[in-house]
Chains A and B, each alone.
Chain A
Amino acid sequence: MEPLDRDLEEGLLELPSEPMMLNMGPSHPAMHGTVRIVLELSGEVIQKADVQIGYLHRGFEKMCERGTWTQIFPYVDRCNYVSPMLNNVGFALAVEKMLGVTVPERCQYYRVALGELARICDHMICSGAMCMELGAFTPFLYFARAREIIWDIFEEETGARVTHSFGRVGGMANPPTKYFKDMVRAGVPRVLQLISEGEKLLLKNRIFLDRLEGVGVMSKEDALALGWTGVVLRASGVPYDVRRAHPYMVYDRMEFDVPVGTTGDNYDRFMCRQEEIRQTARIIEQALDQMPDEGPINIEDPRIVLPPKQDVYTTIEATIQHFKIVMEGIKVPAGECYSYTEAGNGELGFYLVSDGSGTPYRVRIRPPCFATTQGLEQLITGLMIPDVVPTFGSLNMIGGECDH
């Protein structure tokens, strides 16, 4: 007897199937409200991913061309709203480079200390949020408590907890408070202790390790080709840290190690961040030890720095000086420059063009996240939907600076 389906080919016996299109985001719990990924799925496996950014676009660069140089500080605060202090410092350094001035040594240490505190915040929140999206809520609470300590210090120093707008061209808005060093010395060990406690819940946890290890691997070559910088690049095995490669401010006097990963997977990125927090604590300690207790914070140049407020009210010279700087802006000599610093996510560059007036002619930002997000598509293709969560989380994509 012959089989009944003798005329049918093998292929016809299978049900026809086509990939399922799935739209993830921008309103999706793991997309932070700022990214949309259009996925082509076969089952749960991602065959094709289309990462679309731009949901937090606010015209940052265009806005900068409207006001004075000083008025840009609040904007850079909101580029990376997790570590605004680093952006403040980065932008101040860029303008100072064009002006050809260097801030006093005390201010440099102050900037380093504040900036590194912000870096701890940045890394901690990235790691914590990633754990939370994986379902582990408790470690996030440890990290959030640690962040509170740093935010308290910032509040005491700058008056604001999140968007400080504390940087100024040629110095800082205020000198360090009397107890700055005491506060940081009391707070940072406590932060490290909380981080270790949070880590204990994760690093011995098989589920957590399984979710991270070998997932979202980026090779050294690809990372370089994509223009990655910062922790994500170092996790792929390239020991490039702007603070070490091109030291600015007083980083050449600091002793710290640059943690480097081997495989470039999510686990390496997580561990690099955690290790960098500890190295950052070392930097803060050294900066506090070396920072002089007395001395000026701002440079002595009446064309750049605002006069003391009481002089503005009492003397005519200071009033005029204040008026000129506020109304016309700092006169930055015509020209252009590129200045780059190590921000929370990598190399934060500012390319500035000045026409000699008090207003920038062009401000171009090179946000680390923009380059990083380019690689997301390559990372998640071939993985499963659940892998999008830790992979995207470990890249620490910040919508504010990505959509510039």
Chain B
Amino acid sequence: MSLVEIVLAVVKILILALFFLNMAALSTWADRRQGAMVQDRVGPNRAVVHLPNMVARGIVLLPPALFGVLAIFSSLGQIAGRAAVERFTVNVQLTILVAWFSLLVLCAKVRSTGAINRAEQMFEDVDPRSIFFAGLGVHAIGLVVGRFVPQAAWPLAAQVSGFVLGGVFLIVALYATSRVPDGPIPLRLAGTLHALADSIKMIWKEDFIPKNGDRLLHGLAPVLAVFSALAVMAVIPFGNDLCFADGNKNGTLDFSDLTNLVATVPASGACNGFRVKLQIIDLNVGILYVFGIAGTGIIGAAIAGWASDNKFALLGGLRASSQMVSYEVAMGLSLVGLFLIYGSVRLSDMAVWQGQNAWGVFVQPLGFVLFLTALCAETKRVPFDQPEGESEIVAGYFLEYSGFKWGMFMTGEYIELVFSSALLVALFFGGYALPFVHPDGITVAFGNTVLFQYKMTHLAVSLLSAVAFFGKTVFVTWVQIFFRWTLPRFRYDQLMKLGWTKLLPLAIANMMVTGVVVLALRNAGPEADAWVKLLADITQGVVAVATLAGFVAVVVGLLEPVERKKFLASSAARFAAAVGGVKPEPQQA
């Protein structure tokens, strides 16, 4: 293994570890936030850092100003050919995006604190949603107009649009800085600092070990829990394979080659130079490694229960280990159907297959449901949180833990949550693939009819794929947090019954039916293949449309005006105040 490979691996580990740890902190925050809302406390919002005014202004000014200067600077040189038209498109789209987003922020600001000049007064009565829709419209117009720019004008257009983009960035930077109020600025980041404050606090808390507990095992258990949660991320592919050309023609990948990312790759994804996978290590056992390592996480829980010298903790440890044994089986078997279809247990192959054909959730819907259930059980979250079932056995296996050891259990649990989401994405939601996005660009095709084609550079496709993977993971994590707040938990024996009498037979049946179908399709001939391909393309189309519609719906929902119609009777006191109802003075009673 050469030095450059080691460096690349370290970088990849850092990216994934940062993502997982941050997401774990964020999902802790999301859980906490709801708890605080319930009890009407300020909750995480108390965590605040007061930034000196100059620093706050610097933070507002510098990044956009830097982007602006960069945009202008990079447009000074000559840009030619395909790169010019791509630059032009990106510049125009970015300009529009920055413009409407800044207007939205300004609109919100005007609504909350009032206009300070005549230009801002224009936004007082503007519906934020119309800004958003207008922005979308201008995006579309920009795309269409860009097509009419003659080929001779491409370089000029790229330069001019770069200057405009830089200018817009600079205007936004300067105006936003002028809008920063005087005095120290409280930085709350919606309460996300709370997770940080919590972890700092935990370092200094007392590390309590029960008198008759096993000191060694008591310390070992949280390490095992966190280790397994972190180690499984090694096989998750989080982006397209990168392709580097051999610049100095010496036949090996070295540091100078890392600057030679090839401009485009063909639709097949073939690569002439060196292929760098965006995956820490592409093991040939792939998913089996995940099963193996994830299973050891439960050992941490079982050991913790044993070493704590507490009956509640012991019950928790027992429950954890028996739950793991029951659900690991169903979990493995529910994926066999998927392996038959993908023809591989490597996660990278699975992502490629899903990009070329259909997402796993469409080819194995039952397998998906079974796997999701088993995965929830593996991560010990509601409705499968018997090992820690709060109202039954207090805190279960980590009852006797405090300080940072407790923190490690919690971190481990939330990392597992994020990891399980990443795994679901990799197996069932197309991994890093986006519908109709191929290594050479976007090709909307159903069967053999190509409706739309747009070539993209290798860099753009790769960035898009990484963003897609992390975005999907965030979304699935968010959905999993919903489960926790809605479902009651199973009873211990019902859980076992579900695992052995429902999930397991269903998983086996799923496996057999899939096997028969896969064999039948393999021998069915080219005509059936074409139909299957068309079906797969249709599922991709469904995903694309659903994603776009969902995005628009979410943004429109977020932009709903804050002044909602108040339902008076939701508070009788407010109702009474509205109709003038006050008590007679005690003196007159």
Residues of A at under 8 Å CB distance from B? 20, 22, 28-30, 44, 131, 133-138, 141, 144-145, 148-150, 152-153, 155-156, 159, 174-175, 177-179, 182-184, 186-187, 189-190, 201-202, 205, 207-208, 210-211, 308-310, 384-389
Contact = CB atoms under 8 A, between A and B. Distances in A.
A153 B572 contact: yes
Nearest to A183: B572
A138 B482 CA distance: 10
A135 to B, nearest CB: 4
Give the dominant DSSP class at B's interface: helix
Contacts of B382: 135
Contact of B488 (A131, A156, A179): A131
Contacts of B582: 177
A262 B581 CA distance: 45
Given A190-B569, A207-B488, A208-B488, A135 B391 contact: yes
Interface of B: 34, 38, 311-312, 315, 382-383, 385-386, 389-394, 485-494, 567-576, 579-583, 586-589
Contacts of A210: 490-491, 494
B485 A137 contact: yes
Contacts of B489: 134-135, 207, 386
Given A156-B581, A207-B383, A389-B392, A190 B567 contact: yes
For A177, A183, A386, A387, which residue has the most chain B Cβ atoms within 10 angstroms?
Answer: A386
A22 B393 CA distance: 10
For B394, B489, B492, which residue has the most chain A Cβ atoms within 10 angstroms?
Answer: B489
A211 B488 contact: yes
Contacts of B38: 137, 141, 144
B583 A22 contact: no
Contacts of A175: 589
B488 A30 contact: no
A149 B574 CA distance: 10
A44 B311 CA distance: 11
B487 A386 contact: no
Contacts of B315: 44, 385
Given A44-B492, A388-B392, 11 more contacts: A137-B38, A152-B573, A155-B572, A179-B576, A179-B579, A179-B581, A189-B569, A190-B567, A207-B488, A309-B589, A386-B389
A56 B390 CA distance: 23
B573 A30 contact: no
Nearest to A173: B589
Contacts of B579: 179, 182
A308 B489 CA distance: 56
29 contacts: A28-B394, A44-B315, A131-B488, A133-B391, A135-B487, A135-B488, A136-B487, A137-B486, A149-B571, A150-B572, A153-B572, A156-B573, A156-B576, A175-B589, A182-B579, A186-B568, A186-B572, A186-B575, A190-B567, A190-B570, A205-B488, A207-B487, A207-B488, A210-B491, A308-B589, A309-B586, A310-B587, A384-B492, A384-B493
Nearest to B497: A210
B486 A201 contact: yes
Contacts of B389: 135, 386
Given A138-B486, A149-B571, A187-B575, A310 B588 contact: yes
A30 B391 CA distance: 5
A210 B383 CA distance: 13
B15 to A, nearest CB: 34
A210 B491 CA distance: 8
Nearest to A39: B311
A30 B392 CA distance: 7
A178 B587 contact: no
Q: List the 3 closest pairs (A to B, CB-CB), nearest first.
A: A186-B569, A179-B581, A134-B488
Contact of B569 (A44, A145, A149, A211): A149
A89 to B, nearest CB: 20
Contacts of B493: 384
A120 to B, nearest CB: 13
Contacts of A141: 38
A172 to B, nearest CB: 11
A202 B587 CA distance: 49
Contacts of A386: 386, 389, 392, 489, 491-492
A380 to B, nearest CB: 12
A164 to B, nearest CB: 14
A358 to B, nearest CB: 24
Contacts of B583: 156, 159, 174, 177
Contact of B576 (A131, A159, A177, A208): A177
Contacts of B576: 156, 177, 179, 183
A403 B184 CA distance: 54
A177 B576 CA distance: 10
A148 B383 contact: no
Contacts of A179: 575-576, 579-581
B391 A178 contact: no
B491 A211 contact: yes
A233 to B, nearest CB: 26
Contacts of B312: 22
Contacts of A309: 586-587, 589
A194 B479 CA distance: 24
B129 to A, nearest CB: 27
A262 to B, nearest CB: 22
Contacts of B386: 386
B571 A148 contact: yes
A125 to B, nearest CB: 14
A386 B383 CA distance: 13
A29 to B, nearest CB: 5
A361 to B, nearest CB: 32
B139 to A, nearest CB: 37
Contacts of B491: 210-211, 384, 386-387
Contacts of A177: 576, 581-583
A135 B568 contact: no
A19 to B, nearest CB: 12
Nearest to B490: A207
A260 B388 CA distance: 36
A205 to B, nearest CB: 7
